[in-house]
Chains A and B, each alone.
Chain A
């Protein structure tokens, strides 16, 4: 069923917090596309009311690019002839010190999927060391069962990011051809399992450029977010809609999502998920990223490297994908200030957990 102009008007007119999945479908559709400026104004006003003029800053820290899973679009996929590297605790501390010196107090630790080289023991060891530098540590790694999340939480992990990549089971099977990640349901349940162990921040996302049409994945992502807001209501939720980037995998989408479509999607996400963070990484271009902040983006990274050891020993290992925004953290922070926004490096401390 196609959304009409009236559906779009109704969706825009509804009070924040009462918009549903049908409203979302109307807001990402072609009828709403013709009214993008109107959507942008509503999204901007709502973002200001709920988040103020702030943008949360985080930095990705890749611990390893070893991987036993084959995702046909990923630069780390098993079997690709790339330079591989796994950081020692001493090396990840050097990377951490580099990032801390640039202002970061929230790191997102990433690895490929290697059960032996980057398992729970490995992660706990690195998290325990990095806690001395960072009050906020999130993970974007393979998915775990509840007991494993409990161990990670005890080690000091306070955020878990799991992108479903695509929510369409057939497309999921087509892009994830080998390895543990093939289990769609286990991945989908990851954020809820993590939430049950008390992990405080959840991140979910769909990788745009895999399943077509992308709007189906956007709707499924929003349904997932609305579900998590009910079952994991104590957690702070953020969503992300990364567009696929060039990588060693050689994959490129047939119909890439355009800038205009992505801007519309950001507005629609904000209008339907008024209190949910929206993450925008350095895979997007500088001017485009800056322009999306007033539209609803609340979390961003800067100066990122996607290769393990890339901050202090660049060039030794392959990155996961090419970044587009190569500005330093200071340059991005200055650009945010010029827009009238305050970059927020720290908004949480482990002390705040005391007594919980």
Chain B
């Protein structure tokens, strides 16, 4: 979706589910969630993990 697809075609995964209608709703929600996250804008990526609460913050005077 990030690369620019216009549609998602799903057949078997929905067709063979125990409750196909519910599975179809799940796919719709997933596509919807992906689109919303993309529109909202992702956080910047980093090469390494970085704690959002630093261990050495106590050393810096407020």
**Does B54 have its Cβ within 8 Å of any Cβ on chain A?**
yes
Task: Report B46 CB to chain A, min CB distance, Å.
Answer: 13
The tally of residues in B whose CB lies under 8 Å from a CB in A reads 6
Whether the pair A291, B58 counts as a contact (CB closer than 8 A) is yes
Whether the pair A40, B58 counts as a contact (CB closer than 8 A) is no
Whether the pair A263, B59 counts as a contact (CB closer than 8 A) is yes
Provide the bound-state CA to CA distance between A40 and B58, in Å.
12
Interface positions, chain A 252-275, Cβ under 8 Å from B, are: 259-260, 263
Whether the pair A37, B54 counts as a contact (CB closer than 8 A) is yes
For A288, give the chain B residue with the smallest CB separation.
B58
Provide the bound-state CA to CA distance between A356 and B56, in Å.
43
**Does A36 have its Cβ within 8 Å of any Cβ on chain B?**
yes
**Does B3 have its Cβ within 8 Å of any Cβ on chain A?**
no
Whether the pair B55, A44 counts as a contact (CB closer than 8 A) is yes
**Does B9 have its Cβ within 8 Å of any Cβ on chain A?**
no
Q: Please, which residues of chain B bring their CB within 8 A of the CB of A37?
A: 51, 54-56
**Does A294 have its Cβ within 8 Å of any Cβ on chain B?**
yes
**Does A355 have its Cβ within 8 Å of any Cβ on chain B?**
no
Q: Which of A41, A44, A259, A294 has the most CB of B within 10 A?
A: A41
**Does A130 have its Cβ within 8 Å of any Cβ on chain B?**
no
Q: Please, which residues of chain B bring their CB within 8 A of the CB of A79?
A: none
Interface of A is mostly: helix
- B28-57 toward A: CB 8 Å interface, digit per residue (1/0)? 000000000000000000000001001110
**Does A297 have its Cβ within 8 Å of any Cβ on chain B?**
no
Whether the pair A295, B55 counts as a contact (CB closer than 8 A) is yes
Provide the bound-state CA to CA distance between A260 and B55, in Å.
12
**Does A287 have its Cβ within 8 Å of any Cβ on chain B?**
yes
Task: Report A342 CB to chain B, min CB distance, Å.
Answer: 19
- A35-64 toward B: CB 8 Å interface, digit per residue (1/0)? 011001100100000000000000000000
Q: Please, which residues of chain A bring their CB within 8 A of the CB of B55?
A: 37, 40-41, 44, 294-295
Q: Please, which residues of chain A bring their CB within 8 A of the CB of B56?
A: 36-37, 40, 263, 295
Provide the bound-state CA to CA distance between A299 and B59, in Å.
21
Whether the pair A287, B54 counts as a contact (CB closer than 8 A) is no
Task: Report A201 CB to chain B, min CB distance, Å.
Answer: 28
Whether the pair A259, B51 counts as a contact (CB closer than 8 A) is no
For A287, give the chain B residue with the smallest CB separation.
B58
- A10-46 toward B: CB 8 Å interface, digit per residue (1/0)? 0000000000000000000000000011001100100
For B49, give the chain A residue with the smallest CB separation.
A41
Q: What are 6 contact pairs spanning A and B, CB under 8 A? A: A37-B51, A37-B54, A40-B54, A259-B59, A287-B58, A294-B55
Task: Other than A260-B59, A287-B58, A288-B58, give 17 A-B pairs with Cβ distance below 8 A.
Answer: A36-B56, A36-B59, A37-B51, A37-B54, A37-B55, A37-B56, A40-B54, A40-B55, A40-B56, A41-B51, A44-B55, A259-B59, A263-B59, A291-B58, A294-B55, A295-B55, A295-B56
